[in-house]
Amino acid sequence: MSLQTRILVATTVALVLSVVTGCAPPRGFHFDVAADMRNYTPPEYTGPQYFEGACTAIRDLGPGAFMVVPGDLDPPERVRATLDAILGPEYVMYPVVGNHELDQPDYMPYLRELNRNGKTLPGIVRSGPPGAEETCYSFDYRNAHFVVLNQYYDGSSDVGTDGDVVPALCNWLAEDLADNDLPFIFVFGHEPAVSVPDLDNGRVRHRGSSLDKYAENNHRFWTLLREYQVVAYFCGHTHDASVTKINGVWQIDCGHARGNGDPGTRSTFVKVYVEPDGVRCVIFRQAGNGYEATFEERLR
């Protein structure tokens, strides 16, 4: 049977089922992930060689339902302004706290206000633990559950540690995952469980000083992801892009989206496609004044 015939048969079956059951065929969606664009945003840095270039490529490819930013988006208001200008103010950004958001006194209040009382960002189903109510959260979109972790939460303050999944945060995550009944789960934090070489040139940064600095907490965290069959954990921090399966769970390091701001590895963003038959991710990397798809992996 040819590919075209198989597609026709599958489409016909789906339409018949929709008539018989009264339900529409399942629809897929995709979302965008970009990290560590810090500082290389307008008005100082404009054009295709910086974060603007990644946003323009996302627009031209077709933007996802929303973007999750796994940290180091400082200054956050400039990242939001760039998204507004290129992708529109209706394009939703879910921020993750990175280590550099702790550097300036006005960055954290801005991020907290984006999710004040769990009512500003759409789809929020759980606010964070005491002391990190706004900067840890989970949200649902269609058939997927998304969890955002602030790894600088120490159990009482959301700026209290140097990158860790402390027991209080892990307990909150466990409660959230236990309450979820959607089939696809994605978790986001700034720092990797372990630093992995860049897909292109093998550069390695922050090995031994990321979550792996706290081995016991890191092990408990990863065991929890595996227990609840999390599809993938997304991070940034290293500026190196990688897609690696670790003990049954995918870790996707989204690299950096600062363009020429880090010449050590190519600027990167990720598109994740949640489809009726599974999940796949595509890595896009800077090529001249644009971006090209360089790597694809089926996650489930």
- Indicate the pLDDT class of residue 27, thresholds 50, 70 and 90: confident
Q: Is it the case that residue 244 has pLDDT exceeding 80?
A: yes
Find tokens 């009264």 and name the residue.
22
Cα separations in angstroms, 187 against 105, 239, 252: 27, 19, 10
Percent of the chain beyond pLDDT 70?
91
Angle at 193 between CA 189 and CA 197, to 5 degrees: 105
Q: Is it the case that residue 75 has pLDDT exceeding 70?
A: yes
Q: Is it the case that residue 278 has pLDDT exceeding 70?
A: yes
DSSP 74: -
- Indicate the pLDDT class of residue 13, thresholds 50, 70 and 90: very low
pLDDT, tens digit, for every residue of 108-148? 999 999 998 766 899 999 999 999 999 999 999 999 999 99
Cα separations in angstroms, 253 against 35, 36, 239: 9, 11, 8
Angle at 276 between CA 275 and CA 281, to 5 degrees: 20
pLDDT, tens digit, for every residue of 160-195? 999 999 999 999 999 999 999 999 999 999 999 999
Alpha-carbon span 88 to 174, nearest angstrom: 35
Alpha-carbon span 273 to 32, nearest angstrom: 9
* Amino acid 26: pLDDT: 57
Percent of the chain beyond pLDDT 90?
88
Alpha-carbon span 246 to 252, nearest angstrom: 10
Closest CA to 123 of 111, 102, 110, 137: 137
Is the CB of residue 91 less than 8 Å from the CB of residue 68? no
Alpha-carbon span 126 to 133, nearest angstrom: 9
Q: Is the peptide bond before 43 cis (omega within 30 degrees of 0)?
A: yes
Q: Under 8 Å CB-to-CB from 20, ≥6 apart: which residues?
A: none
- Indicate the pLDDT class of residue 6, thresholds 50, 70 and 90: very low
Domain residue ranges in the chain: 27-298
pLDDT, tens digit, for every residue of 60-70? 999 999 999 99
- Among the ranges given (13-27, 83-97, 190-204, 246-260), the one the predictor scored with the smallest mean pLDDT: 13-27
Span 77-92, average pLDDT: 98
Compute the half-sphere exposure of residue 214: CA atoms within 13 Å on the CB side of its CA. Answer: 18
Cα separations in angstroms, 110 against 10, 38, 76, 86, 185: 47, 15, 7, 21, 27
Span 272-298, average pLDDT: 97
Q: What is the residue-averaged pLDDT of the chain?
A: 92
* Amino acid 117: pLDDT: 73
**DSSP of 137-183:** EEEEETTEEEEE--TT--SS-TT-SSS---HHHHHHHHHHHHH---S
| CATH superfamily placement of domain 27-298 | Metallo-dependent phosphatases (3.60.21.10)
Q: What beta strand segments (E) does 161-288 contain? A: 184-188, 232-235, 241-246, 249-254, 268-275, 278-287
